[in-house]
Chains A and B, each alone.
Chain A
Amino acid sequence: MKIKFHHILLTLLIATTGCKKDNYDAPSLKLTGKLVYKGEAIGVEYNQVPYELYQPGFGKVGPISQTFGQDGAYSSLLFKGNYKFTIPPNQGPFLWKEMAAGKRDSVAVSLTDNKTMDIEVTPFYMIRNANLSAGNGKVNATFNIEKIVTDANAKDIERVSLYINKTQFVSGGDNIAVTDLAGSAITSLSNIAMSVNIPGISPTQNYVFARVGVKIAGVEDMIFSPLVKLSY
């Protein structure tokens, strides 16, 4: 009888100590922010402009790679620690600070709690005062373009495009109609007017999403005005 009791005790002991979880907690700290130029958000294409976070000190070096949303926002769930934030070369419609030997600069991020950090970059152009409206089966847009980079790194406008889509994802790859304006046809950067016809949408809906994008010569990613939902 006594031996059996010992056995039960031993089994219970093993069972209770063995119940400890052997895995780590999931990352829980949130690093969020958006791409800005002097506080103003920069719109890009969804899932096309990547950023990388490096956490040095763990042997192998590899980035945590993610992409910006179409309003320029980003967010990562991370562990507590020190990170370096960077954007790979030739990505995004903006300039990123480079070191002497063509290496990309990085931003040090010390993460101890949830953190919001906006990423300040220098875009080649900004779309200002975009005014989009819908009516008579058309979407009309008027806007100004401001040339930000004017030094040796300046680039020309290849084209300006007005995109509309039936969902909130609006870009060169996701649209139901588009009007292009070649860069050579732009005489003045202020009061540019464009319009695009709204095609039949099935199933019918009485709204579209629209935004204007600038394609810069020699730069892959376009820069966009803020997204608007237009009802008609």
Chain B
Amino acid sequence: MKKISLITIFAILLGTGSCKKDSAFLDVPPKQVLPTELAFSDPALVLSILGDLYNRQRDFSSLDGYPIPNTSDTEPGWRTFADFSEAFPSENGSSFIVQRTGWGYGEWYIWDYGYIRDLNLFIQRATAATKLSDGDKTRFIAEARFLRANYYFEMVKRMGGVPLITDPLAYDYSGNVTPLQKPRAKESELYDFVISEAESIKDQLPNDVNEKSRATKGVALAMEARAALYAGSIAKYGAGTPQVSLPGGEVGISSSLASGYYTKALAAAQAIINGSAGSYQLYKVLPDLADNFAAVFLDKSSVNQEAIFVEDFKVNSGRVHGFTTNDQPFSISDEGLDAGRLNPSLNLVEAFEKLDNTYAPLATKDASGNPIYYTDQLDIFAGRDARLAGTVLLPNGSFKGKRTDVWAGYQLADGSILTSGDAGQLKPLPGTSTPVQVTGKDGVINGQEFRTQTGFYIRKYLDPAVGSGRRGRGSDVAFIRYRYAEVLLNAAEAAFELGQIPVAAGYLNQVRSRAGLTTALSPVDITFDKIVHERRVELAFEGHTLYDMKRWRLATAVWDGAPMTVTDLVTNIGKANKRNTQPYGLWPYKYYNPGNANNGKWLFKEILPSPVTGANRFQLGNYYSQIGNDVLSANPKIVKQPNQ
């Protein structure tokens, strides 16, 4: 009896205990994954998702570098600035940049549809969210649409037309993937998409000059102006390279569309210039114009109303970069042997105008071929565009309160040169017995890495804060993606192409007078060469070089694969199609001739650093990066690039 009741109780217990529904028993809410409804219920959570999407943007040049696809390696930040003969890489492991004779067709390839899908999912989920306020929701969606348009813009610059996917595609597991295979859109359709997205989101984004790292109205308009300008110039100058086009329009834009795009570019740029997106203006704060130009990239306070959109960093937050560590002058380095990698080339330095608006090579020799002697190394650069000293740290230039020590050796009276393999290796001068230092502590010695091999160090983005050169601390200088001076130059170029020459002159003069070129250009001075030149010197090392040369179809002329001579270097300065295939250096020598009036003075020589053995050759097939065979074989609707 007792047994039966025990069994009964047990059976009842078992019965009631198992009476839980299967769904209630099996559906345990996950503890480490946030479900979509929960993630999109709180603005702070949504912002953290959006923060990840902001971090995954892609620029051409980046201070903290980016991972190399299909490897565990990272492209270091400094190296993304080092190519195209605008700079020399003073690191032996990166000498391939100046030793190759061109770029592979796959160079600059990006195809991150995982990112596009995440953006599309974000837009879909944020649209469906019910617990967000309308204001938050509108802004979040507009920001994601901006990021999506900006990434498509980055893709079209490199790849031409790509599949335009604006919904998160879902696979139905039917075994048939055909509905997911989308063909490439036309190149013009990509640009139209970027422009129309910018137009439709600009008024949903905040109108705030002090918001620099999230999308604002100013950013949307700046992106629109740049995209329309690119499309206009591809339409206009692409007509000269009919080989670089595809019959379906995936690459190449009809020349009849050029003026329409230029008109849109000018209108978008003027919307920023006339203040409708906030009071953006050129940075004019410091009395020394070179310091002022360098500070555009360093000043993160609200005084800086030139920066429109930046990739920001913060010390002690984990989000810092090693640009200053990698590129600081060797003798002023905070990190011993870590220094001096990015050396601007003489090719770029020669491009900076004299203050009377004329071009002239740096005077190293007089008319009869004798060297010119200078008392101070900086004298040879006197009377130049202030952006030169603001972009490039010149020999004897000042950084962190010290001066750089850049010279290649003693030039002796008999014409020979006294130098050594290292600044620490002392040698006696002729007629003396006391060993002295015979080269600079910061270079220049052929093949000696981490010290300049061109005579120049980079100054743009170089952080003067205490400890910025240490690996542990790093630097938090921001990378400016869009700034007001570029908007002015975009407006000037669009106006020039539309025949509104006085308008173009007005915008160019604003940018130039900030750099100390106070003699205004008159409309007759405005030529295509002038536009090309102004962008080169103003926007050097900001990731524009390749895209500018591509859209003007100048890349094949400028990087034609022929080695450069010194004559090539010092002639035709300011010409848009000037050859620029090898980075030259300007080496200072100290003159030693006791009793001579020039004893102890400086002379300069144009020298090709010996690691430079290649010459850049840009082929027609480089205009649009090769689409990978994995993509081509997975999707038969994708057409190949021309010339490949």
Contacts and interface: CB of A to CB of B under 8 A. Distances in A.
Given A61-B632, A173-B101, A173-B561, A220 B642 contact: no
A170 B644 CA distance: 24
B562 interface: yes
A88 B617 contact: no
Contact of A102 (B247, B620, B629): B247
B262 to A, nearest CB: 26
Interface residues on B, range: 20 to 34
Nearest to B628: A62
26 contacts: A48-B619, A60-B629, A60-B630, A61-B632, A61-B636, A62-B633, A88-B643, A88-B644, A89-B642, A89-B643, A90-B620, A91-B621, A91-B643, A102-B247, A172-B560, A172-B561, A172-B562, A173-B101, A173-B562, A173-B563, A173-B617, A218-B242, A218-B243, A220-B243, A220-B619, A220-B620
Contact of A90 (B556, B561, B643): B643
A63 interface: yes
Contact of B629 (A62, A172, A178, A220): A62
Interface in A74-124: 88-91, 102
A179 B621 CA distance: 27
A178 B644 CA distance: 29
B555 to A, nearest CB: 12
A90 B105 CA distance: 14
Contacts of A61: 632-633, 636
Interface string A34-56: 00000000000000100000000
Q: Which of A173, A178, A218 has the most CB of B within 10 A?
A: A173
Nearest to A176: B563
Interface string A160-176: 00000000000011010
B408 interface: no
B147 interface: no
Sorted nearest first, the 5 A-B pairs with minimum C-beta distance are A62-B629, A60-B633, A90-B643, A173-B561, A61-B633
B272 interface: no
Contacts of A48: 619
B615 interface: yes
A61 B631 CA distance: 10
Contacts of B247: 102
A18 B632 CA distance: 39
A62 B101 contact: no
Contacts of A102: 247
A62 B632 contact: yes
Interface in A145-168: none
Contacts of A60: 629-630, 633-634
Contacts of A175: 563
A113 B474 CA distance: 61
Contacts of A63: 629
A202 to B, nearest CB: 13
A178 B615 CA distance: 15
Contacts of B636: 61
Contacts of B563: 173, 175
Contacts of B617: 173
Interface string B236-257: 0000001100010000000000
A126 B247 CA distance: 30
A90 B204 CA distance: 46
Given A173-B562, A218-B243, A90 B642 contact: yes
Nearest to B102: A173
A91 B633 CA distance: 22
A62 B640 CA distance: 12
Given A62-B632, A88-B644, A90-B620, A173 B243 contact: no
Nearest to A45: B561
Contacts of B101: 173
Interface in B599-644: 615, 617, 619-621, 629-630, 632-634, 636, 640, 642-644
